[in-house]
Amino acid sequence: MENKYISIAIDGPSASGKSTVAKILAKDLNFVYVDSGAMYRAYTLAVLKASLDPKNEEESDRLINKIDISFDHITNHILLDGKDVESEIRGNEVANNVSYIASYKNIRLFLVDLQRKIAKGKNIVMDGRDIGTYVLEDAQIKIFLVANEEERARRRFIENKEKGIETSFEDCLENIKKRDYIDSHRSFCPLKPAADSILLDSTKLSIKEVTDKIKEIIKEKGF
Protein backbone atom coordinates (compact mmCIF):
# COMPACT_ATOMS: atom_id res chain seq x y z
CA MET A 1 0.00 0.00 0.00
CA GLU A 2 1.25 3.46 -0.83
CA ASN A 3 2.39 5.51 2.15
CA LYS A 4 -0.19 8.26 2.67
CA TYR A 5 2.12 10.29 4.88
CA ILE A 6 4.78 12.55 3.46
CA SER A 7 8.35 12.56 4.74
CA ILE A 8 10.80 15.32 3.95
CA ALA A 9 14.45 14.54 4.72
CA ILE A 10 16.88 17.45 4.97
CA ASP A 11 20.51 16.43 5.36
CA GLY A 12 23.76 18.33 5.20
CA PRO A 13 26.83 19.40 7.17
CA SER A 14 26.84 21.44 10.42
CA ALA A 15 25.35 24.94 10.21
CA SER A 16 24.24 24.61 6.59
CA GLY A 17 20.86 26.01 7.67
CA LYS A 18 19.04 22.67 7.87
CA SER A 19 17.29 23.19 11.18
CA THR A 20 16.17 26.76 10.47
CA VAL A 21 14.76 25.80 7.08
CA ALA A 22 13.25 22.51 8.30
CA LYS A 23 11.49 24.27 11.18
CA ILE A 24 9.93 26.90 8.88
CA LEU A 25 8.87 24.27 6.36
CA ALA A 26 7.26 22.12 9.04
CA LYS A 27 5.37 25.12 10.41
CA ASP A 28 4.18 26.30 6.98
CA LEU A 29 3.13 22.80 5.89
CA ASN A 30 1.75 21.86 9.31
CA PHE A 31 4.10 18.85 9.51
CA VAL A 32 5.85 17.52 12.63
CA TYR A 33 9.48 18.64 12.88
CA VAL A 34 12.23 16.38 14.20
CA ASP A 35 15.74 17.71 14.82
CA SER A 36 17.72 14.46 14.86
CA GLY A 37 20.96 16.30 15.70
CA ALA A 38 19.34 17.46 18.94
CA MET A 39 18.91 13.78 19.86
CA TYR A 40 22.65 13.07 19.42
CA ARG A 41 23.33 16.24 21.44
CA ALA A 42 20.93 15.15 24.22
CA TYR A 43 22.63 11.75 24.40
CA THR A 44 26.01 13.53 24.62
CA LEU A 45 24.70 15.75 27.42
CA ALA A 46 23.50 12.68 29.30
CA VAL A 47 26.97 11.07 28.93
CA LEU A 48 28.65 14.22 30.27
CA LYS A 49 26.17 14.53 33.15
CA ALA A 50 26.80 10.92 34.12
CA SER A 51 30.57 11.68 34.17
CA LEU A 52 31.17 9.10 31.44
CA ASP A 53 33.84 9.69 28.78
CA PRO A 54 32.33 10.56 25.35
CA LYS A 55 35.59 9.47 23.69
CA ASN A 56 35.10 5.98 25.12
CA GLU A 57 32.53 3.97 23.15
CA GLU A 58 31.99 1.24 25.72
CA GLU A 59 31.36 3.81 28.50
CA SER A 60 29.08 5.92 26.29
CA ASP A 61 27.05 2.87 25.26
CA ARG A 62 25.99 2.36 28.88
CA LEU A 63 23.11 4.82 28.57
CA ILE A 64 21.44 2.99 25.65
CA ASN A 65 17.82 2.21 26.63
CA LYS A 66 18.44 3.90 30.00
CA ILE A 67 17.57 7.48 29.04
CA ASP A 68 14.44 8.93 27.57
CA ILE A 69 14.84 11.34 24.65
CA SER A 70 11.72 12.97 23.22
CA PHE A 71 10.36 16.23 21.83
CA ASP A 72 7.82 18.76 22.88
CA HIS A 73 6.19 19.13 19.44
CA ILE A 74 4.65 22.48 20.38
CA THR A 75 7.93 24.24 21.22
CA ASN A 76 10.12 21.83 19.16
CA HIS A 77 12.37 21.63 22.23
CA ILE A 78 14.22 18.43 23.09
CA LEU A 79 13.51 16.68 26.39
CA LEU A 80 15.97 14.49 28.25
CA ASP A 81 14.16 12.31 30.79
CA GLY A 82 11.26 14.74 30.50
CA LYS A 83 13.34 17.85 31.16
CA ASP A 84 13.72 20.62 28.55
CA VAL A 85 17.46 20.70 27.69
CA GLU A 86 17.18 22.69 24.45
CA SER A 87 19.61 25.42 25.50
CA GLU A 88 21.95 23.09 27.43
CA ILE A 89 22.62 20.97 24.33
CA ARG A 90 23.81 24.01 22.32
CA GLY A 91 26.83 24.78 24.53
CA ASN A 92 30.50 24.21 23.63
CA GLU A 93 31.01 21.09 25.71
CA VAL A 94 28.26 19.21 23.90
CA ALA A 95 29.30 20.63 20.47
CA ASN A 96 32.87 19.47 21.00
CA ASN A 97 31.91 15.92 21.93
CA VAL A 98 28.79 15.10 19.94
CA SER A 99 30.62 13.78 16.85
CA TYR A 100 32.24 11.04 18.93
CA ILE A 101 28.85 9.96 20.26
CA ALA A 102 27.35 10.10 16.75
CA SER A 103 30.06 7.75 15.47
CA TYR A 104 29.09 4.88 17.81
CA LYS A 105 26.97 2.32 15.99
CA ASN A 106 24.88 1.07 18.91
CA ILE A 107 23.99 4.59 19.99
CA ARG A 108 22.99 5.41 16.41
CA LEU A 109 20.77 2.30 16.24
CA PHE A 110 19.11 3.32 19.54
CA LEU A 111 18.42 6.87 18.28
CA VAL A 112 17.42 5.80 14.73
CA ASP A 113 14.84 3.49 16.24
CA LEU A 114 13.43 6.42 18.23
CA GLN A 115 13.47 8.66 15.13
CA ARG A 116 11.52 6.11 13.10
CA LYS A 117 9.02 5.66 15.92
CA ILE A 118 8.44 9.42 16.16
CA ALA A 119 8.01 9.66 12.35
CA LYS A 120 5.58 6.76 12.05
CA GLY A 121 2.08 7.74 10.98
CA LYS A 122 2.86 11.42 10.60
CA ASN A 123 3.71 13.99 7.97
CA ILE A 124 7.23 14.81 8.93
CA VAL A 125 10.19 17.06 8.27
CA MET A 126 13.36 15.57 9.75
CA ASP A 127 16.82 17.05 9.47
CA GLY A 128 20.19 15.42 10.12
CA ARG A 129 23.01 13.64 8.33
CA ASP A 130 21.61 10.22 7.42
CA ILE A 131 17.87 10.85 7.15
CA GLY A 132 17.64 10.41 3.36
CA THR A 133 20.23 7.63 3.21
CA TYR A 134 19.12 5.57 6.20
CA VAL A 135 16.55 6.77 8.76
CA LEU A 136 13.76 7.63 6.31
CA GLU A 137 15.10 5.93 3.20
CA ASP A 138 11.64 6.06 1.61
CA ALA A 139 11.19 9.82 2.12
CA GLN A 140 9.43 11.32 -0.90
CA ILE A 141 11.49 14.53 -0.72
CA LYS A 142 15.23 14.47 0.03
CA ILE A 143 17.28 17.65 0.18
CA PHE A 144 21.04 17.83 0.73
CA LEU A 145 21.76 21.35 1.96
CA VAL A 146 25.32 22.69 1.77
CA ALA A 147 27.13 26.01 2.24
CA ASN A 148 30.83 26.86 2.32
CA GLU A 149 32.77 26.51 5.61
CA GLU A 150 33.29 30.24 6.27
CA GLU A 151 29.63 31.05 5.74
CA ARG A 152 28.58 28.20 8.04
CA ALA A 153 31.05 29.35 10.73
CA ARG A 154 29.72 32.90 10.39
CA ARG A 155 26.14 31.67 10.84
CA ARG A 156 27.04 29.54 13.87
CA PHE A 157 28.97 32.46 15.41
CA ILE A 158 25.98 34.83 15.03
CA GLU A 159 23.56 32.16 16.30
CA ASN A 160 25.72 31.55 19.40
CA LYS A 161 26.04 35.29 20.05
CA GLU A 162 22.27 35.71 19.91
CA LYS A 163 21.90 32.86 22.38
CA GLY A 164 24.50 34.37 24.72
CA ILE A 165 26.93 31.49 24.12
CA GLU A 166 30.53 32.77 24.14
CA THR A 167 32.60 31.61 21.17
CA SER A 168 34.90 33.19 18.60
CA PHE A 169 34.53 32.95 14.82
CA GLU A 170 37.75 30.89 14.75
CA ASP A 171 36.34 28.45 17.33
CA CYS A 172 33.19 28.02 15.23
CA LEU A 173 35.21 27.44 12.06
CA GLU A 174 37.44 24.91 13.77
CA ASN A 175 34.48 23.07 15.31
CA ILE A 176 32.70 22.93 11.95
CA LYS A 177 35.79 21.58 10.15
CA LYS A 178 36.38 18.98 12.84
CA ARG A 179 32.74 17.83 12.84
CA ASP A 180 32.55 17.73 9.02
CA TYR A 181 35.58 15.45 9.04
CA ILE A 182 34.33 13.09 11.75
CA ASP A 183 30.74 13.06 10.41
CA SER A 184 31.77 12.19 6.86
CA HIS A 185 34.49 9.67 7.76
CA ARG A 186 32.66 7.42 10.26
CA SER A 187 32.08 3.89 9.01
CA PHE A 188 28.37 3.60 9.88
CA CYS A 189 25.98 6.03 8.16
CA PRO A 190 28.46 8.76 7.27
CA LEU A 191 27.30 12.17 6.09
CA LYS A 192 26.73 11.86 2.35
CA PRO A 193 23.97 12.79 -0.09
CA ALA A 194 21.39 10.11 -0.89
CA ALA A 195 21.51 9.08 -4.56
CA ASP A 196 17.99 10.47 -5.02
CA SER A 197 18.53 13.71 -3.08
CA ILE A 198 18.48 17.21 -4.50
CA LEU A 199 21.57 19.30 -3.77
CA LEU A 200 20.93 22.89 -2.64
CA ASP A 201 23.76 25.36 -1.97
CA SER A 202 22.61 27.97 0.54
CA THR A 203 25.88 29.98 0.68
CA LYS A 204 24.41 32.93 -1.18
CA LEU A 205 20.74 32.36 -0.44
CA SER A 206 18.53 33.79 2.28
CA ILE A 207 16.48 31.51 4.53
CA LYS A 208 13.37 32.48 2.60
CA GLU A 209 15.01 31.71 -0.75
CA VAL A 210 16.00 28.25 0.46
CA THR A 211 12.54 27.46 1.89
CA ASP A 212 10.87 28.75 -1.28
CA LYS A 213 13.10 26.52 -3.40
CA ILE A 214 12.21 23.47 -1.33
CA LYS A 215 8.51 24.32 -1.58
CA GLU A 216 8.92 24.51 -5.38
CA ILE A 217 10.58 21.08 -5.35
CA ILE A 218 7.69 19.66 -3.29
CA LYS A 219 5.20 21.10 -5.79
CA GLU A 220 7.18 19.84 -8.80
CA LYS A 221 7.10 16.36 -7.30
CA GLY A 222 3.32 16.59 -7.16
CA PHE A 223 2.75 16.80 -3.39
Binding site for ligand DC (CB under 6 A): 14, 36-38, 40-41, 98-99, 102, 128-131, 179, 183
Alpha helix (H) ranges present in 52-148? 57-60, 92-102, 105-119
How far apart, in whole angstroms, are the C-alpha atoms of residue 145 and residue 127?
A: 10
Strands across the sheet containing 83-84: 69-72, 77-80, 83-84
Helix, strand, coil percentages (3-state) for the chain, rounded to 5, are 50, 15, 35
- Distance of closest approach, residue 212 Cβ to ligand DC, in angstroms: 22
Based on CB atoms, which residue is closest to ligand DC, 92 or 220?
Answer: 92
Instruction: Read off the DSSP letter of residue 135.
Output: I
| Half-sphere exposure at residue 71, Cβ-oriented, CA atoms within 13 angstroms | 22
Based on CB atoms, which residue is closest to ligand DC, 14 or 197?
Answer: 14
- Distance of closest approach, residue 150 Cβ to ligand DC, in angstroms: 17
Based on CB atoms, which residue is closest to ligand DC, 41 or 155?
Answer: 41
- Distance of closest approach, residue 129 Cβ to ligand DC, in angstroms: 4
Based on CB atoms, which residue is closest to ligand DC, 4 or 153?
Answer: 153
Based on CB atoms, which residue is closest to ligand DC, 31 or 37?
Answer: 37
Contact criterion met (CB below 8 Å) for 144 and 198? yes
Count of CB atoms within 10 A of residue 6's CB? 17
- Distance of closest approach, residue 7 Cβ to ligand DC, in angstroms: 14
- Distance of closest approach, residue 22 Cβ to ligand DC, in angstroms: 10
Contact criterion met (CB below 8 Å) for 25 and 145? no
Helix (H) or strand (E) holding 70: strand 69-72
- Distance of closest approach, residue 188 Cβ to ligand DC, in angstroms: 10
